[in-house]
Chain A
Amino acid sequence: MEKVIEVVEIKKAFGGNKVLEGVSFSAEAGKVLGIIGPNGSGKTTLINILSGVLTQDHGKVLFMGMDISHEKAYVRAKLGIGRTFQIPRAFPSLTVWENLQLAQLHSGKEVSIESVLKRVGLYELRGRYSDKLSLAQRKRLELARALMLKPKLLLLDEVFAGMNPASIWEVSEVIKGLKEEGLCIIMVEHVLSALMPLVDEIIVLADGRVIYWGDKYGAFKEEKVRRAYLGEKYSSFGV
Chain B
Amino acid sequence: MGVIWGLLLALLSVAFSQDVIRFGAAVSLTGKFAKEGQLVKRGYELWKERVNASGGIKVGNKRYKVDIVYYDDQSDPLTSARLVEKLIIEDKINFILGPYGSAQVFSVAPIVEKYGALMVQAGGASSEIYKKGYKNIFGLYTVAPFYGRDLVELATKLDKDAKRIAIIYEKDIFSEDVASGALEHAKKKGLEVVLYEGYPKQVQDLSSLMQKIRLLKPDIVIGSGHFQDAVLTVKQLKQFGINPKFLGLTVGPALPAFVQALGEDAEGIFGPVQWSPALKYKDPVFGSTEEFVKLYRERFNSDPEYHVAGAVAAGVVFQKAIEDAGSLEVDKVRDALRKIKLETLFGVVGFDETGKIITKPMAIIQIQKGRHVTVYPFEEAKPIYPKPQWK
Task: Please determine if A and B sit in direct contact within the complex, based on CB atoms under 8 angstroms apart.
Answer: no
